[in-house]
Amino acid sequence: MNMDSFTDAFSLQGRVALVTGAAGGLGLETARWLSAHGAVVVISDVRSEVAAAAQQLRGEGLDVHSRVLDVANADAVFATVESVRAEIGSIDILVNNAGLKHNHGTAAKMEPSAWDREIAINLSGAFYCARATLPGMIERSWGRIIGVSSFVALSGLHGAPGYAASKSGLNGLTRTIALEAYRYGVTANVVCPGPIAVPGASSDPKIAERFLSRLPGGKFGEAQDVAAAITYLASDAAKFVNGIELPIDAGARLFYTGNAPKRG
Ligand SMILES: NC(=O)c1ccc[n+]([C@@H]2O[C@H](COP(=O)([O-])OP(=O)(O)OC[C@H]3O[C@@H](n4cnc5c(N)ncnc54)[C@H](O)[C@@H]3O)[C@@H](O)[C@H]2O)c1
């Protein structure tokens, strides 16, 4: 292997990526990383601010396009994937990042409508996007499906049953795609971030303190910690990595199990 091959393995040159829920936060930073590694990136979001976000990245010299898309609307997902194919190119890399988290209360109190909404966006939305992009990936014998799950998918989260269940479901969906599609050159993996500080996010200080108290190192992660892992999973360097659930949490999940003591 010569020196070029080492770096080429991480290049995304010639690939087209779709990142959902990317008007800001982890999705936007992921788009920045994928594009900086050579991919043409389409960022989508239910919020129209996604157009300005794409413009911001273009201002940084990156090849980034935008689409307004509600991932919970299957017809809209299929139409968007088709318009990207026709105008930009077939999607090689799908990052299922769109997500909603509300603290709706315990399972004993959560409204069924709130449950339905979290499942529709976090889980069904990811399925629709995979369903719309997988046939093309299989046909071209190359593809990457990467889910942005959460470390709570591996444990559970007091007061957020819909969120925790939707993220565990996303893991199950992605593992199944991993089983079905690897033989066609497609890998499917999830990253499971712990608490990550996201620009512009307003979080309840009490909840933030609860997370911080159990976070080794006592500091939130950064969006780039997640974006870097996704960029690796999207590359040829990760061609033998399939069906994994990668925690990106400074080991926080170890402190959330059972009666684990607080950091200290
Ligand atoms: N920040 C964290 O600590 C953390 C930790 C673990 C997992 N996550 C996951 O990372 C992903 C990104 O979260 P974030 O922290 O960047 O927060 P964020 O709120 O900035 O990003 C979520 C994005 O999804 C979009 N969205 C919501 N509903 C949508 C829909 N129906 N269709 C399309 N887009 C929709 C929102 O508009 C928003 O831009 C989410 O899936 C979240 O669950 C975040």
User: Sorting pLDDT into bands at 50, 70 and 90, what band is 262?
Assistant: low
Q: Tens digits of per-residue pLDDT, 217-259?
A: 889 999 999 999 999 999 999 999 999 999 999 998 887 654 4
Atom of ligand 1 nearest to the CA of 193: 6
Task: Give catalytic status of residue 163 as yes or no.
Answer: yes
User: Sorting pLDDT into bands at 50, 70 and 90, what band is 149?
Assistant: very high
Q: What is the pLDDT of residue 259?
A: 43
Q: What is the pLDDT of residue 58?
A: 98
Atom of ligand 1 nearest to the CA of 22: 39
Query: From the CA of 2, how far away is ligand 1's center (Å)?
Result: 39
User: Sorting pLDDT into bands at 50, 70 and 90, what band is 148?
Assistant: very high
Q: What is the pLDDT of residue 255?
A: 72
User: Sorting pLDDT into bands at 50, 70 and 90, what band is 18?
Assistant: very high
Q: What is the pLDDT of residue 256?
A: 63
Q: What is the pLDDT of residue 4?
A: 77
Query: From the CA of 242, how far away is ligand 1's center (Å)?
Result: 23
User: Sorting pLDDT into bands at 50, 70 and 90, what band is 63?
Assistant: very high
Q: What is the pLDDT of residue 264?
A: 46
Query: From the CA of 224, how far away is ligand 1's center (Å)?
Result: 15
Taking residues 88-96, what's their average pLDDT?
99
Please determine, for residue 206, whether its predicted confidence score (pLDDT) is greater than 80: no
Lowest-pLDDT range of 80-89, 127-136, 207-216, 232-241: 207-216
Atom of ligand 1 nearest to the CA of 99: 41
Q: Tens digits of per-residue pLDDT, 96-108?
A: 999 998 878 899 9
Q: Using H for helix, E for strand and C for coil, what is the string for the chain?
A: CCHHHHHHCCCCCCCEEEECCCCCHHHHHHHHHHHHCCCEEEEEECCCCHHHHHHHHHHCCCCEEEEECCCCCHHHHHHHHHHHHHHCCCCCEEEECCCCCCCCCCCCCCCHHHHHHHHHHHHHHHHHHHHHHHHHHHHHCCEEEEEECCHHHHCCCCCCHHHHHHHHHHHHHHHHHHHHHHHHCEEEEEEEECCEECCCCCCCHHHHHHHHHCCHHHCCEEHHHHHHHHHHHHCHHHCCCCCCEEEECCCHHHHCCCCCCCCC
Atom of ligand 1 nearest to the CA of 122: 41
Query: From the CA of 45, how far away is ligand 1's center (Å)?
Result: 10
Share of the chain above pLDDT 90, in %: 80
Taking residues 26-53, what's their average pLDDT?
98
Q: What is the pLDDT of residue 2?
A: 74
Q: Tens digits of per-residue pLDDT, 177-203?
A: 999 999 999 999 999 999 999 976 656
Using CB distances shorter than 6 Å, the residues near ligand 1 are 20-21, 23-27, 45-47, 69-72, 97-101, 121, 148, 150, 193, 195-196, 198, 201
Please determine, for residue 263, whether its predicted confidence score (pLDDT) is greater than 60: no
Q: To test the ligand 1 pocket, which listed residue (19, 26, 191) has its Cβ within 8 A of the most ligand atoms?
A: 26
Q: Which protein residue has the closest C-alpha to ligand 1 atom 40?
A: 99
Q: What is the mean pLDDT of the chain?
A: 93
Catalytic residue among 128, 163, 232, 256: 163
Please determine, for residue 146, whether its predicted confidence score (pLDDT) is greater than 60: yes
Taken in order of first residue, the domains within the chain and their CATH numbers are 3-249 (3.40.50.720)
